[in-house]
Amino acid sequence: MDSQKTTFCNEISLMMFGFGDSHKPNPETVRLVESIVLKQLRMIVQEALKYSDGKNLKGKELVFLMRHNKHKMRRFFQYLKNKQLKQQLQSLNSGVIEIDRDPIPKNELMKFIEYIDETGEFTDLSEVDEVKQSRMLRADRISQALDEKRYLEFCKARATSFCSRDITARNSEKLRQWIDPKKEINFSTNAMVVLSYLGYQTVAEITDYALLVRMEGKCGSDPLNHLYGNYYTSTMFNGDYRIGASGNNPDYSRVYSGQPPISVNEIKEVMRRIHCPQAGKLNFGGKLPDTHYLFAL
């Protein structure tokens, strides 16, 4: 596979649509997001290799990088639990029931997270994940604006990721070729699972932030204009269409169809803010680490 032809533009375009962008994202914006995701994944790999022998990369090293953010670690742990539940359901649907059959053992990555979870906060799923909840609410609002055909397309976009539904030899090789075209690193299967997940979360956060940038641009000079729940519905549902607005039957279709695709400049503004944080960030005068802007971590 030629590295020059390895691209995830189609998948990223669908992912951005699934996260709240226009039905047809701007191709230039998609290419920019792809370059950002690729750069961040490669930097994550290099950071993780510091905890390995420098050539063989396992999933544990990648998971270890998330240890500073309990919310993202919890989200990943929930992701692993959902994968395990899916395996159990597939086993039940096979039609073969074994009375003495042992339950499916925990994933190796789940065991590792529990091992490094000294305080129990990584595996505590009782707290509401506000970021995930906001994305689900946004998706619900979008789905109300769609006809049946467009809704099916939206569902397909929501199910798109860097590894389809499961890691297979084919899509794993494409992702590996994209990240490491020179084949200098040996990736384990678990490493590819984690990288696929981190790439997906990177696209999600870039889209989230781009919609927030747009929202702020429409707030004008009113510093309190963003306090009406716009974060949960992005810029598509400002004004009469935001949560709690008057009206029993808001025209979500008109709001959705009127949203332009996320622009290149909006993505550039996101990256500018990430690389140049505003005054007041508590870094105590020290230099920010190179990984401070890695969205997935």
Measured CA to CA, the distance from residue 52 to residue 271 in angstroms comes to 30
Q: At 57, give phi and psi (nearest 5°).
A: -115, 125
Which one, of 90, 122, 95, lies nearest residue 109 by Cα? Answer: 122
Q: To the nearest whole number, what is the mean pLDDT of the chain? A: 78
Report the number of distinct structural domains present in the chain: 1
Structural domain includes residue 25 = yes
pLDDT of residue 216: 76
Position with higher pLDDT, 5 vs 30: 30
Q: What is the DSSP letter of 228?
A: S
Residue numbers of the domain that contains 62: 3-71+129-279+287-293
With b for 16 or more beta-carbon neighbours within 10 A and e for fewer, the 270-291 pattern comes to beeebeeeeeeeeeeeeeeeee
Q: Is residue 190 part of a domain?
A: yes
The DSSP call for residue 187 is E
- For the residues 41-45, what does the mean pLDDT come to? 95
Which of 95-99, 172-176, 274-278 has the least mean pLDDT?
Answer: 95-99
pLDDT of residue 5: 79
User: For residue 154, what is the domain's CATH number?
Assistant: 1.10.20
182 has pLDDT over 50: yes
Q: Is residue 30 included in any domain, yes or no? A: yes
188 in any annotated domain: yes
Domain-embedded: residue 143? yes
Q: What is the mean pLDDT of residues 58-80?
A: 92
Q: In b/e form, how buried is each residue of 152-172, taking b as 16+ CB within 10 angstroms?
A: eebeebbebbbbeeebeeebb
pLDDT at 181 over 80: yes
Ranges of beta strands (E only) in the chain are 56-57, 186-187
Task: Report the percent of the chain where pLDDT is more than 90.
Answer: 39
Is there a domain that residue 121 lies in? no
Q: Is 140 within a domain?
A: yes
Q: Could you tell me if residue 106 is inside a domain?
A: no
> What integer pLDDT is reported at residue 165 of this predicted model?
56
